Structure 1
Amino acid sequence: MADFENNAFFWQKIDTLYLSSKLEIIREKGSKHPEFGNLVYPVEYGRLKDTSTSDNEGIMVFKGSEKSSSVSAIIIAADILKKDLQAKLLIGCSKDDEDKILRFLNQTDYQKTILVRRGQEIPSWGLTD
Protein backbone atom coordinates (compact mmCIF):
# COMPACT_ATOMS: atom_id res chain seq x y z
CA MET A 1 0.00 0.00 0.00
CA ALA A 2 2.84 2.44 0.76
CA ASP A 3 3.81 2.44 -2.93
CA PHE A 4 0.62 4.34 -3.75
CA GLU A 5 0.96 6.98 -1.04
CA ASN A 6 2.34 10.45 -1.74
CA ASN A 7 4.43 9.50 -4.76
CA ALA A 8 6.26 11.58 -7.33
CA PHE A 9 3.93 10.64 -10.20
CA PHE A 10 0.92 12.15 -8.41
CA TRP A 11 2.80 15.40 -7.77
CA GLN A 12 3.98 15.49 -11.39
CA LYS A 13 0.33 15.50 -12.49
CA ILE A 14 -0.51 18.23 -9.97
CA ASP A 15 2.40 20.36 -11.30
CA THR A 16 1.12 19.84 -14.85
CA LEU A 17 -2.37 20.99 -13.82
CA TYR A 18 -0.90 24.12 -12.23
CA LEU A 19 1.65 24.97 -14.93
CA SER A 20 -0.81 24.44 -17.80
CA SER A 21 -3.45 26.72 -16.26
CA LYS A 22 -3.77 30.45 -15.67
CA LEU A 23 -3.76 31.54 -12.03
CA GLU A 24 -6.23 34.31 -11.23
CA ILE A 25 -5.69 35.95 -7.82
CA ILE A 26 -9.11 36.75 -6.34
CA ARG A 27 -8.07 37.69 -2.77
CA GLU A 28 -4.93 39.65 -1.96
CA LYS A 29 -2.92 38.93 1.18
CA GLY A 30 -4.55 40.83 4.07
CA SER A 31 -7.99 41.10 2.45
CA LYS A 32 -11.13 40.03 4.29
CA HIS A 33 -13.29 37.06 3.35
CA PRO A 34 -16.38 38.34 1.45
CA GLU A 35 -18.87 36.56 3.75
CA PHE A 36 -16.95 36.33 7.02
CA GLY A 37 -15.29 39.68 7.71
CA ASN A 38 -13.31 38.34 10.67
CA LEU A 39 -11.36 36.00 8.35
CA VAL A 40 -8.30 37.68 6.81
CA TYR A 41 -6.33 35.96 4.04
CA PRO A 42 -2.74 35.29 5.21
CA VAL A 43 -1.40 34.93 1.64
CA GLU A 44 -2.74 35.50 -1.88
CA TYR A 45 -5.68 33.26 -2.82
CA GLY A 46 -6.85 32.45 -6.30
CA ARG A 47 -8.10 29.88 -8.76
CA LEU A 48 -6.85 28.08 -11.83
CA LYS A 49 -9.18 29.54 -14.45
CA ASP A 50 -9.44 26.68 -16.92
CA THR A 51 -9.94 23.85 -14.41
CA SER A 52 -13.14 22.26 -13.22
CA THR A 53 -14.47 21.40 -9.77
CA SER A 54 -17.85 20.41 -8.36
CA ASP A 55 -18.65 24.06 -7.51
CA ASN A 56 -17.49 25.32 -10.95
CA GLU A 57 -15.02 27.73 -9.33
CA GLY A 58 -11.90 25.91 -10.52
CA ILE A 59 -9.04 24.54 -8.46
CA MET A 60 -8.24 26.95 -5.64
CA VAL A 61 -4.67 28.03 -4.86
CA PHE A 62 -2.88 29.67 -1.94
CA LYS A 63 0.20 31.53 -3.24
CA GLY A 64 2.79 32.06 -0.54
CA SER A 65 5.80 34.28 0.04
CA GLU A 66 8.46 32.14 -1.70
CA LYS A 67 9.41 32.40 -5.37
CA SER A 68 8.40 28.97 -6.64
CA SER A 69 6.23 27.55 -9.40
CA SER A 70 5.81 24.07 -7.99
CA VAL A 71 3.11 22.79 -5.71
CA SER A 72 4.58 22.23 -2.24
CA ALA A 73 1.47 20.79 -0.60
CA ILE A 74 -2.27 20.26 -0.89
CA ILE A 75 -4.88 21.19 1.67
CA ILE A 76 -7.94 18.99 1.90
CA ALA A 77 -10.92 20.79 3.42
CA ALA A 78 -14.08 19.19 4.81
CA ASP A 79 -16.93 21.71 4.93
CA ILE A 80 -20.10 20.62 6.70
CA LEU A 81 -22.09 23.72 5.64
CA LYS A 82 -21.48 23.04 1.95
CA LYS A 83 -21.40 19.25 2.54
CA ASP A 84 -18.27 19.23 0.42
CA LEU A 85 -14.63 18.20 0.25
CA GLN A 86 -12.19 20.46 -1.56
CA ALA A 87 -8.52 20.29 -2.46
CA LYS A 88 -6.52 23.53 -2.47
CA LEU A 89 -3.00 23.81 -3.88
CA LEU A 90 -0.16 25.56 -2.06
CA ILE A 91 2.37 27.29 -4.31
CA GLY A 92 5.57 28.85 -2.95
CA CYS A 93 4.50 28.47 0.66
CA SER A 94 7.03 28.52 3.49
CA LYS A 95 6.41 26.56 6.69
CA ASP A 96 5.23 29.83 8.25
CA ASP A 97 2.80 30.39 5.33
CA GLU A 98 1.49 26.83 5.76
CA ASP A 99 0.88 27.40 9.48
CA LYS A 100 -0.96 30.68 8.82
CA ILE A 101 -3.11 29.09 6.08
CA LEU A 102 -4.04 26.17 8.34
CA ARG A 103 -4.97 28.55 11.18
CA PHE A 104 -7.02 30.64 8.72
CA LEU A 105 -8.93 27.64 7.38
CA ASN A 106 -9.46 25.85 10.70
CA GLN A 107 -10.77 28.76 12.79
CA THR A 108 -14.44 27.87 12.18
CA ASP A 109 -16.29 24.84 13.50
CA TYR A 110 -17.87 24.29 10.07
CA GLN A 111 -14.67 23.53 8.17
CA LYS A 112 -11.58 21.55 9.11
CA THR A 113 -8.53 20.90 6.97
CA ILE A 114 -5.41 18.78 6.72
CA LEU A 115 -2.17 19.45 4.86
CA VAL A 116 -0.47 16.85 2.66
CA ARG A 117 3.14 17.75 1.85
CA ARG A 118 4.74 16.83 -1.42
CA GLY A 119 6.36 13.40 -1.62
CA GLN A 120 9.26 12.48 -3.89
CA GLU A 121 9.22 8.70 -3.80
CA ILE A 122 8.85 6.78 -7.04
CA PRO A 123 6.69 3.72 -6.36
CA SER A 124 8.08 0.29 -7.24
CA TRP A 125 5.32 -0.19 -9.83
CA GLY A 126 6.62 2.91 -11.65
CA LEU A 127 10.19 1.67 -12.13
CA THR A 128 11.24 0.19 -15.45
CA ASP A 129 14.36 -1.66 -16.52
Structure 2
Amino acid sequence: MSAYENNAFFWQKLDTLYLSSKLVVDRPRNTCHYKYSNLIYPVDYGYLCDTTGSDQAPIDVFKGSEKSNLVQSVVVSADILKKDCEVKLLIGCSEEEELEILEFLNQTEFQKAVLIRRGSEVPYWASND
Protein backbone atom coordinates (compact mmCIF):
# COMPACT_ATOMS: atom_id res chain seq x y z
CA MET A 1 0.00 0.00 0.00
CA SER A 2 1.28 3.47 -0.85
CA ALA A 3 1.62 6.17 1.77
CA TYR A 4 -1.15 8.09 0.01
CA GLU A 5 -4.22 6.24 -1.20
CA ASN A 6 -6.70 8.36 -3.17
CA ASN A 7 -9.66 6.14 -2.32
CA ALA A 8 -12.77 6.54 -4.51
CA PHE A 9 -14.97 5.52 -1.57
CA PHE A 10 -13.62 8.43 0.52
CA TRP A 11 -14.76 10.87 -2.18
CA GLN A 12 -18.18 9.20 -2.33
CA LYS A 13 -18.59 9.79 1.41
CA LEU A 14 -17.68 13.46 0.99
CA ASP A 15 -20.20 13.77 -1.86
CA THR A 16 -22.87 12.26 0.41
CA LEU A 17 -22.04 14.73 3.20
CA TYR A 18 -22.29 17.62 0.75
CA LEU A 19 -25.47 16.45 -1.00
CA SER A 20 -27.28 15.64 2.25
CA SER A 21 -26.55 19.00 3.87
CA LYS A 22 -27.54 22.59 3.22
CA LEU A 23 -24.71 24.88 2.12
CA VAL A 24 -24.77 28.30 3.80
CA VAL A 25 -22.54 30.89 2.09
CA ASP A 26 -21.68 33.41 4.78
CA ARG A 27 -18.67 34.96 3.01
CA PRO A 28 -19.41 35.69 -0.64
CA ARG A 29 -16.69 35.93 -3.29
CA ASN A 30 -14.58 39.14 -3.09
CA THR A 31 -15.55 39.94 0.51
CA CYS A 32 -13.02 40.58 3.27
CA HIS A 33 -12.19 38.10 6.01
CA TYR A 34 -14.08 39.06 9.19
CA LYS A 35 -10.85 39.49 11.17
CA TYR A 36 -8.17 40.33 8.56
CA SER A 37 -9.35 42.93 6.04
CA ASN A 38 -6.40 42.27 3.72
CA LEU A 39 -7.66 38.70 3.09
CA ILE A 40 -10.25 38.62 0.28
CA TYR A 41 -12.24 35.45 -0.41
CA PRO A 42 -11.56 34.35 -4.02
CA VAL A 43 -14.79 32.28 -4.25
CA ASP A 44 -17.91 31.87 -2.13
CA TYR A 45 -17.11 30.41 1.28
CA GLY A 46 -19.44 28.86 3.79
CA TYR A 47 -20.35 25.76 5.71
CA LEU A 48 -22.58 22.70 5.67
CA CYS A 49 -25.44 22.82 8.19
CA ASP A 50 -25.79 19.88 10.57
CA THR A 51 -22.20 18.69 10.07
CA THR A 52 -19.18 18.75 12.35
CA GLY A 53 -15.58 19.28 11.33
CA SER A 54 -12.44 18.65 13.34
CA ASP A 55 -12.79 22.04 15.06
CA GLN A 56 -16.31 21.08 16.25
CA ALA A 57 -17.75 23.72 13.90
CA PRO A 58 -19.61 22.83 10.68
CA ILE A 59 -17.59 21.58 7.70
CA ASP A 60 -16.20 24.46 5.62
CA VAL A 61 -16.79 24.71 1.85
CA PHE A 62 -15.28 26.79 -0.95
CA LYS A 63 -17.86 27.01 -3.80
CA GLY A 64 -16.50 28.01 -7.20
CA SER A 65 -18.11 29.27 -10.39
CA GLU A 66 -18.57 25.90 -12.12
CA LYS A 67 -21.80 23.91 -11.83
CA SER A 68 -21.03 20.74 -9.87
CA ASN A 69 -22.35 18.80 -6.91
CA LEU A 70 -19.25 16.66 -6.42
CA VAL A 71 -16.39 17.31 -4.05
CA GLN A 72 -13.50 17.72 -6.50
CA SER A 73 -10.76 18.39 -3.98
CA VAL A 74 -10.06 19.25 -0.38
CA VAL A 75 -7.61 21.57 1.26
CA VAL A 76 -6.00 20.68 4.55
CA SER A 77 -4.73 23.67 6.50
CA ALA A 78 -2.50 23.93 9.54
CA ASP A 79 -2.76 27.10 11.63
CA ILE A 80 -0.23 27.72 14.39
CA LEU A 81 -2.17 30.68 15.86
CA LYS A 82 -5.37 28.66 16.28
CA LYS A 83 -3.32 25.51 16.95
CA ASP A 84 -5.50 23.45 14.62
CA CYS A 85 -5.75 21.56 11.34
CA GLU A 86 -8.87 21.77 9.21
CA VAL A 87 -10.24 20.13 6.08
CA LYS A 88 -12.23 22.30 3.69
CA LEU A 89 -14.25 20.97 0.73
CA LEU A 90 -13.95 22.48 -2.76
CA ILE A 91 -17.04 22.29 -4.98
CA GLY A 92 -17.26 23.54 -8.57
CA CYS A 93 -13.88 25.24 -8.58
CA SER A 94 -11.88 25.72 -11.78
CA GLU A 95 -8.15 25.04 -11.66
CA GLU A 96 -7.58 28.81 -11.50
CA GLU A 97 -9.96 29.08 -8.54
CA GLU A 98 -8.17 26.18 -6.81
CA LEU A 99 -4.90 28.08 -7.16
CA GLU A 100 -6.52 31.29 -5.85
CA ILE A 101 -7.83 29.37 -2.82
CA LEU A 102 -4.36 27.96 -2.16
CA GLU A 103 -2.85 31.46 -2.42
CA PHE A 104 -5.56 32.77 -0.07
CA LEU A 105 -4.87 30.07 2.53
CA ASN A 106 -1.07 30.30 2.26
CA GLN A 107 -0.57 34.06 2.39
CA THR A 108 0.19 34.36 6.10
CA GLU A 109 3.18 32.96 7.90
CA PHE A 110 0.90 31.38 10.51
CA GLN A 111 -1.22 29.18 8.24
CA LYS A 112 -0.28 26.85 5.39
CA ALA A 113 -2.44 24.53 3.29
CA VAL A 114 -2.16 21.71 0.77
CA LEU A 115 -4.64 20.65 -1.91
CA ILE A 116 -5.67 17.05 -2.54
CA ARG A 117 -7.53 16.41 -5.80
CA ARG A 118 -10.20 13.77 -6.21
CA GLY A 119 -9.03 10.38 -7.33
CA SER A 120 -10.80 7.31 -8.65
CA GLU A 121 -8.60 4.55 -7.30
CA VAL A 122 -10.31 1.60 -5.65
CA PRO A 123 -8.10 0.14 -2.92
CA TYR A 124 -6.98 -3.47 -3.39
CA TRP A 125 -8.78 -4.48 -0.19
CA ALA A 126 -12.12 -3.22 -1.55
CA SER A 127 -12.08 -5.12 -4.83
CA ASN A 128 -12.69 -8.61 -3.44
CA ASP A 129 -16.24 -8.89 -4.87
Shorter-chain TM-score: what band? Answer: over 0.9
1:99 aligns with 99
Q: Shift in Å at residue 3 of structure 1? A: 8.8
User: Please, which runs of 5 or more residues in structure 2 have no aligned partner?
Assistant: none
Q: Deviations over 1:7-40 (max 9, x none)?
A: 1011111111111111000100000001000000
Task: State the one-letter code of the partner of 1:75.
Answer: V
Paired letter, 1:89: L
Report the Cα distance in structure 2 between the residues aligned to 1:4 and 1:40, rounded to whole angstroms: 32
Counterpart in 1 of 2:126?
Answer: 126
2:80: which partner in 1?
80
Identical aligned pairs, as a percentage?
58
The runs of 5 or more residues in structure 1 that have no matched partner are none
Q: Which residue of 1 aligns with 2:31?
A: 31
Moved over 6 A (4+): none
Whether contact under 8 Å (1:3, 1:125) holds in the other structure is: no
Q: Distance in 2 between matches of 1:16 and 1:128?
A: 24
Q: Number of residue pairs matched?
A: 129
1:68 maps to which residue? 68
In structure 1, what residue type is equivalent to 2:40?
V
1:115 paired with 2:108, answer: no
CA contact (8 A) 1:102 1:113 kept: yes
Note the C-alpha offset of 1:123: 1.1
Q: Shift in Å at residue 124 of structure 1?
A: 1.4
CA contact under 8 A between 1:32 and 1:41: conserved in structure 2? yes
Length-normalised TM-score, structure 1: 0.95
Please give the secondary structure, in 2, of the residue aligned with 1:2.
coil
What amino acid sits opposite 1:109 in the alignment? E
